[in-house]
């Protein structure tokens, strides 16, 4: 990252001196509690309260203004009301303070005047080379004992740990801290970045990439400002450091998506786009806080599994079966023990015990029996991880077993996860596990889900888009020229005929066609193209031609052409009388094949993205679609196709001829290039794209472009 920003963020996380600007003596208020938080967590630096009224706060000498402090100040935490924050920023500039945290609310989030105030704040900061976190945030915590800083109004400093948490929401931070406290989850850095008017999640991610105290990064986002940059940064972090990034992100409303004009638009809620973008950049998306921490502790506490073969050790049959089910459902495998393991287990466990996987050490098992079984499984080369189940029975020495697990875990470089089932009786054991950084899950299903995520992450091969696979036989200038001319003419929807001319510039497979303006021309063109032909109404006022009976198929001779021409015009006059008709398109009839839909849409944060799915009239009913941010390479195109349930239809299921998947992949790659090159295209639908048998290619049967 940029050296200047790194230095400023170092000042925020590792300051040697902190000024609290706008502090007061009123307990229970933010300006007061922040001072106390800094003092009571043994901050390894100097604290300067700045308050125009007080001579001292919490026994520490207070200054009227920051400029009155004789020594240099590394970090200013502004807690003044919003109305005077900008005055405070100007004094920071005078004092040559380069880093700040602005806790104060009353900026962009309240709109109107607040928005103007934030704009002015950014201007002052930029003019004076000040970097700041916030405004409207909870603050920053760094548990590194070198600094030990709690510059926030969270109730308590969390334990030290190797997980960093970045959050746009301050309130969520306090909930997360409380949740984590109960489970002994520690943090390296904890940041509430609020309105991110200056320092953004991207800057913080880049900083954490090089933070030796952070092994896992958690991110809560309400709004993504630069999706492409987020993807690029995540890729960089995962490629270079292997640190997993887990994100919690709420999606755009489905109402927003349903307002879109095209199929692609209506099928693409932001959730799908965010999922695609995160998948493409290696970010693990979580649905809720619990899932996020379940996965985070797995990856932060234990080594990643090399493969997916697990051993289950349990003291009860039922939970063993439940866990086995969950293992299979999560795509993991039950390990087959080596002969040596089986022999040792048979010798060490009672005769009634099940020595095959899942190993049942029997209800009366105490710590020694668990120890033998777990150690043996950990030693076995056929085992990649151990899942320990415990149910609290009268003779179960829960605390001893927990301690034994912690000891065994340190002896091997394989992951061990636990599920002590129950709540009250197992609490003390769970506490021991959590303090010893052994991932614990109340339910075995959650344990298996976390293992599966850790395994997938370990197998994730982060690659950049292979741009060498992009096609060079495309005419970007021509496409842009046609699109710009259409925009100048005030067109918003390009009918098929015009859409085809653009698709042709990217060598997309458009069947031969001509636009007829009367019956005579229609016959001429049909004879030139060769029968059978398809005839379609062309009007920028008509997006869905089938809905108004504007299409006639399988026309085999001149008389039929004339008849079809009349029928189409009649249908349009009846069903869409206000439509301005450009003509009737005469197009080569495409042979039968598998109908699929491909499309392009644009997301405010991630830009152009592609959609692929099963086509035809049921596309919105089945929603069997996949998404990726454009452009894409062949590997990604292949993933998009395989991800849908309808993949088998293309891949020769039940004796159907295998379809030309390679040609389909090429269409997706070319379309991704077109979407990325031409910002004028707001939405694009190819529905259907007809995929013929293997080696025969595919054809665009209908396309619409929305500008």
Partner 1 sequence: MGNNQINERVKKVIANVLDLGVDEIDDDDNFIFDLGADSAQSIELIAAFEEEFNIDMDEDKALEIQNVSNAADFISEHL
Exactly one of 4, 7, 29, 256 binds partner 1 (CB under 8 A); which one? 29
Exactly one of 52, 317, 318, 530 binds partner 1 (CB under 8 A); which one? 52
24 or 676: whose CB is closer to partner 1?
Answer: 24
Burial of 16 (0-12, 13-18, 19+ CB in 10 A): middle
- How far is residue 577 from each of residues 261, 362, 494, 519, measured CA to CA in Å? 20, 79, 19, 20
24 or 376: whose CB is closer to partner 1?
Answer: 24
- How far is residue 385 from each of residues 329, 370, 414, 450, 700, measured CA to CA in Å? 17, 15, 6, 12, 49
Rounded to the nearest whole angstrom, what is the least distance from the CB of residue 199 to partner 1 in the complex? Answer: 24
Exactly one of 4, 83, 518, 645 binds partner 1 (CB under 8 A); which one? 83
Residues in the chain: 707
Rounded to the nearest whole angstrom, what is the least distance from the CB of residue 645 to partner 1 in the complex? Answer: 57
Q: Does residue 53 bind partner 1 (CB under 8 A)? A: yes
CA angle 503-263-550, nearest 5°? 75
How many Cβ atoms are within 10 Å of 431's Cβ, its own excluded? 16
106 or 616: whose CB is closer to partner 1?
Answer: 106
51 or 233: whose CB is closer to partner 1?
Answer: 51
Q: Does residue 24 bind partner 1 (CB under 8 A)? A: yes
Exactly one of 4, 26, 331, 622 binds partner 1 (CB under 8 A); which one? 26
81 or 350: whose CB is closer to partner 1?
Answer: 81
Find the part of the chain contacting partner 1 (CB under 8 A) among 82-90, 211-219, 446-454, 690-698. 82-90
Size of the site for partner 1 (CB under 8 A): 15
Q: Does residue 167 bind partner 1 (CB under 8 A)? A: no
Find the part of the chain contacting partner 1 (CB under 8 A) among 7-15, 50-58, 358-366, 554-562. 50-58
Dist. CA 671–CA 348, nearest whole Å: 63
**Packed helices 427-435 and 398-411: angle between N→C axes, nearest 10 degrees:** 20
Pairing of the two strands 683-691 and 594-603: antiparallel
In 410-532, DSSP assigns E strands to 416-420, 493-494, 513-516
Q: Does residue 54 bind partner 1 (CB under 8 A)? A: yes
Rounded to the nearest whole angstrom, what is the least distance from the CB of residue 123 to partner 1 in the complex? Answer: 19
Q: Does residue 88 bind partner 1 (CB under 8 A)? A: yes
90 or 517: whose CB is closer to partner 1?
Answer: 90
- Residue whose pair of structure tokens reads 């967590």 in the numeric block: 41
Contacts of 185 (CB under 8 A, 6+ apart): 158, 159, 161, 163, 179, 293, 296, 297, 434
Q: Does residue 81 bind partner 1 (CB under 8 A)? A: yes
Rounded to the nearest whole angstrom, what is the least distance from the CB of residue 90 to partner 1 in the complex? Answer: 10
Rounded to the nearest whole angstrom, what is the least distance from the CB of residue 28 to partner 1 in the complex? Answer: 12
Exactly one of 17, 41, 51, 601 binds partner 1 (CB under 8 A); which one? 51
Dist. CA 315–CA 492, nearest whole Å: 67
83 or 250: whose CB is closer to partner 1?
Answer: 83
- How far is residue 435 from each of residues 161, 184, 594, measured CA to CA in Å? 11, 6, 57
DSSP class per residue in 136-165: S--EEEE--TTT-EEEE--SSPPPEEEEEE
Find the part of the chain contacting partner 1 (CB under 8 A) among 77-85, 360-368, 432-440, 685-693. 77-85
Kindly state the tokens that stand for 493.
Answer: 């929807």
* Pair 467, 633: CB distance under 8 Å: yes
Find the part of the chain contacting partner 1 (CB under 8 A) among 75-83, 331-339, 420-428, 661-669. 75-83
Find the part of the chain contacting partner 1 (CB under 8 A) among 22-30, 69-77, 132-140, 694-702. 22-30
Q: Does residue 87 bind partner 1 (CB under 8 A)? A: yes
Kindly state the tokens that stand for 529.
Answer: 């193209």
Binding site for partner 1 (CB under 8 A): 22, 24, 26, 29, 31, 51-54, 80-81, 83-84, 87-88
């Amino acid at each position: 990252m940029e050296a200047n920003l790194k230095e400023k963020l170092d000042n925020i996380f590792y300051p040697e001196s902190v000024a609290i600007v706008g502090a007061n003596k009123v307990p229970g208020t933010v300006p007061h509690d922040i001072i106390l938080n800094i003092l009571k967590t043994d901050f390894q630096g100097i604290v300067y309260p700045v308050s125009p009224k007080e001579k001292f706060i919490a026994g520490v000498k207070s200054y009227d203004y920051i400029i009155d402090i004789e020594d240099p100040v590394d970090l200013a935490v502004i807690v003044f009301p919003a109305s005077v924050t900008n005055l405070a920023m100007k004094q920071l500039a005078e004092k040559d303070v380069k880093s700040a945290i602005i806790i104060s609310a009353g900026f962009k989030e309240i709109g109107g005047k607040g928005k103007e105030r934030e704009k002015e704040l950014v201007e002052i900061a930029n003019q004076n080379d000040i970097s700041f976190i916030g405004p409207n945030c909870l603050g920053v915590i760094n548990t590194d004992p070198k600094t030990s800083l709690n510059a926030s109004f969270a109730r308590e400093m969390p334990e030290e740990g190797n997980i960093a948490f970045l959050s746009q929401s301050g309130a969520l931070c306090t909930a997360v801290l409380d949740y984590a406290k109960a489970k002994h989850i520690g943090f390296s850095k904890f940041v509430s970045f609020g309105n991110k008017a200056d320092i953004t999640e991207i800057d913080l991610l880049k900083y954490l990439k090089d933070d030796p105290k952070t092994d896992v990064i958690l991110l809560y986002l309400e709004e993504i400002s630069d999706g492409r940059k987020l993807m690029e940064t995540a890729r960089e972090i995962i490629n270079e450091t292997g640190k997993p990034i887990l994100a919690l992100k709420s999606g755009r409303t489905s109402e927003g998506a349903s307002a879109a004009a095209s199929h692609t638009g209506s099928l693409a809620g932001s959730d799908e786009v965010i999922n695609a973008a995160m998948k493409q950049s290696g970010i693990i998306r979580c649905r809720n806080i619990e899932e996020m921490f379940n996965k985070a502790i797995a990856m932060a506490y234990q080594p990643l599994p090399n493969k997916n073969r697990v051993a289950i050790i349990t003291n009860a049959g039922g939970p063993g079966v439940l866990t086995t089910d969950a293992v299979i459902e999560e795509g993991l495998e039950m390990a087959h023990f080596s002969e040596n393991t089986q022999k040792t287990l048979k010798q060490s466990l009672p005769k009634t015990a099940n020595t095959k996987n899942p190993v049942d050490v029997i209800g009366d098992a105490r710590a020694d029996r668990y120890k033998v079984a777990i150690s043996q499984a950990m030693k076995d080369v056929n085992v990649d991880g151990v899942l320990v189940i415990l149910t609290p029975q009268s003779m179960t020495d829960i605390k001893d077993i927990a301690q034994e697990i912690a000891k065994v875990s340190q002896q091997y470089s394989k992951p061990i996860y636990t599920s002590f089932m129950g709540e009250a009786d197992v609490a003390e054991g769970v506490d021991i596990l959590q303090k010893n950084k052994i991932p614990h899950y109340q339910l075995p299903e959650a344990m298996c889900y976390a293992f599966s995520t850790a395994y997938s992450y370990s197998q994730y091969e982060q690659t950049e888009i292979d741009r060498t696979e992009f096609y060079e036989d495309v005419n970007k200038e021509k496409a842009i020229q046609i699109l710009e001319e259409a925009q100048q003419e005030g067109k918003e929807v390009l009918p098929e005929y015009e859409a085809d001319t653009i698709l042709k510039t990217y060598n997309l497979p458009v069947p031969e066609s001509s636009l007829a303006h009367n019956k005579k021309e229609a016959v001429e063109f049909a004879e030139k193209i060769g029968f059978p032909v398809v005839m379609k109404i062309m009007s920028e006022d008509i997006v869905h031609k089938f809905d108004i009976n504007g299409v006639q198929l399988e026309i085999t001779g001149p008389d039929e052409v004339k008849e079809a021409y009349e029928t189409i015009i009649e249908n349009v006059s009846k069903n869409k009388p206000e439509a301005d008709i450009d003509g009737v398109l005469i197009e080569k009839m495409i042979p039968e094949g598998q109908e699929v839909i491909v499309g392009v849409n644009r997301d405010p944060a991630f830009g152009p993205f592609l959609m692929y799915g099963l086509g035809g009239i049921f596309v919105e009913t089945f929603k069997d679609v996949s998404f990726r941010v454009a452009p894409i390479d062949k590997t990604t195109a292949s993933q998009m196709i395989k991800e849908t349930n309808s993949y088998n239809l293309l891949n020769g299921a039940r004796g159907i001829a295998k379809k030309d998947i390679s040609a389909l992949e090429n269409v997706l790659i070319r379309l991704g290039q077109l979407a990325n090159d031409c910002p004028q295209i707001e939405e694009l639908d190819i529905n259907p794209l007809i995929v013929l048998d293997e080696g025969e290619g595919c054809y665009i049967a209908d396309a619409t472009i929305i500008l």
